[in-house]
Copies of this chain bind each other. A is one copy, B any other.
Amino acid sequence: MELTPTLMGDVVELTRAICDVESVSGNEKVLADAVEVGLRRIDGLEVHRDGDAVVARTHLGRAERVVLAGHVDTVPLARRADGSPNLPVIVEGEGPDAVLHGRGTVDMKGGVAVQLHLAATVAPTDLARDVTYVFYDQEEVEADRNGLGRLAATHPDWIAGDFAVLLEPTAGRVEGGCQGTIRVAVTTHGVAAHSARSWMGHNAIHDAGRVLTRLASYLPREVEIDGLLFREGLNAVAISGGIAANVIPDRCVVTLNHRFAPDRSVANAEEHLRELFDGFDLDVLDAADGARPGLDHPAAAAFLAAVGGRAEPKFGWTDVARFSGLGVPAVNFGPGDALLAHRDDERCPAGQLTGCADALRRWLTTPSG
């Protein structure tokens, strides 16, 4: 596949073409090569390559710089209802009513196509702000392979900006920021004994009752940040204890997951849990900071005005937190319905592709108020 100006000029055909270049995580090279070559042909873009990540930037000397980012990998292919693989893409219908069926149409080569289309079709003179286009690899696998994480560590200057839009599928809604997450193990300790002589031991599972009642009575915070209401949560996601059917258990482990609003750091969240479970043995298993929506930034306000609708908070942890970690507020906004991502019948209406491209074009070309 070659990213010719003609192909890049039609966002629907472009989506179809880049979906048909299979790029399951770890196998992005062919597509990344095509993206790099296509971007290098465009006047006024500085292009960088790191592994299978490609970054292209304008240098117009505008007051603001915004970032459009998307991952070029997909989850593995699946089979359609008729047993055939879900690539190449099948198009049903025509024109604005067409629907593209196949792997990546939603998550997220539709968004990647919108980025490429904008890079190729918005004249630099029309841009109200400088733009950085980021195409990265290995988002659908373990966090330590993530291409955006690699760029943040090795070339933070390439992806710096005042505001970022991650073109993950949101079906046209704006999802701002994301909650942080921390997982801890709370362990109770007892003394094993034969269950026929239970008074010789001490039951660690019974002690876990105090952990669970504390969880059941916990009132999670609701916090408004940059106009978005974040709802926290604190939940046991696993519990295990027991040695044998006739033995008083000497150990019980409750695994908790706390999702916290982005006004708190991981350190704050850990401190909160240690206060809540004071007197219990608590170990942190893993944690990640959240991200503030950053909707108070002028570029963000202009973005919301251009794309319309109301922003909503993002509850799950997403790559917007990586931008936030670099001091770049970020939102999710892209074509496709996230509920169809990863499914065998993944599919995206052509109208969402053109609609998303039009909204972002309005924004990129409209000065901040």
Interface set of A (CB-CB < 8 Å, partner B):
179, 181, 183, 194-199, 203, 205-213, 215-216, 220, 231, 233-249, 252, 254-255, 257, 259, 315-317
Contacts and interface: CB of A to CB of B under 8 A. Distances in A.
Nearest to A253: B239
Contacts of A237: 195, 205, 242-249
Nearest to A257: B195
Contact of A209 (B216, B235, B241, B242): B216
Nearest to A178: B196
Contact of A233 (B198, B205, B215): B198
Given A196-B179, A257-B195, A238 B241 contact: yes
B257 A245 contact: yes
Given A236-B249, A249-B238, A255-B245, A317 B196 contact: yes
B231 A199 contact: yes
Contacts of A316: 194, 196-197
Contacts of A249: 236-238
Contacts of A207: 216
Given A239-B242, A241-B238, A206 B198 contact: no
Contacts of A194: 315-316
9 contacts: A195-B259, A196-B315, A198-B234, A198-B259, A199-B231, A205-B238, A209-B211, A235-B248, A237-B248
A339 to B, nearest CB: 12
A219 to B, nearest CB: 12
Given A233-B195, A233-B198, A205 B254 contact: yes
A216 B203 CA distance: 9
Given A196-B233, A212-B212, 6 more contacts: A195-B259, A196-B315, A198-B235, A206-B215, A206-B235, A240-B242
Q: What 10 pairs between A and B have smallest CB-CB spacing?
A: A209-B212, A238-B242, A198-B233, A205-B236, A196-B315, A206-B216, A196-B316, A209-B213, A195-B257, A239-B241
B235 A203 contact: yes
